[in-house]
Amino acid sequence: MITKRLDPSGKVRVTFSLPSALWADTIYLVGDFNGWDRHATPLRATEHGWMITLDLEAGRTYQYRYLINDNEWHNDWNADGYAPNPYGGDNSVIDTTIFAELKQEEVRAVGESITPVPHVHTRLRLVSTG
């Protein structure tokens, strides 16, 4: 699951999470936001699953994948979309472009976050959390 919200700093706070039922010793989030560094961004195991939160620039798309146990690459099936990679597969895509169009005050005032519509990639919907 992916959740997004506009931070008061103007960055988009994105939480990436995987189910706790996923057995793994390590899971890393690897993408263009960390220079595709295989060990820069570890997810942490919590009682709610594996998760990590990053502050990303608004108005961009980012490609990423999960690296499980240092040898298994996985896509995020809740990603906003997919893009071909040079290895014959696809990368997951997270899209923060809608946040560049929103005013911070509006988002803060109504307490909205943006999440992808399940199983419909490349479409977003507003979900009120307040």
Model confidence at 116, pLDDT cuts 50, 70, 90, reads very low
What pLDDT is attached to residue 48? 87
Domain count, the chain: 1
Task: Please say whether the beta carbons of 5 and 15 come within 8 A.
Answer: no
Domain of 27 in residue numbering reads as 2-128
The whole-number pLDDT of residue 80 equals 96
Mean pLDDT, range 11-22, rounded to an integer = 90
Q: What is the CATH number of the domain that holds 47?
A: 2.60.40.10
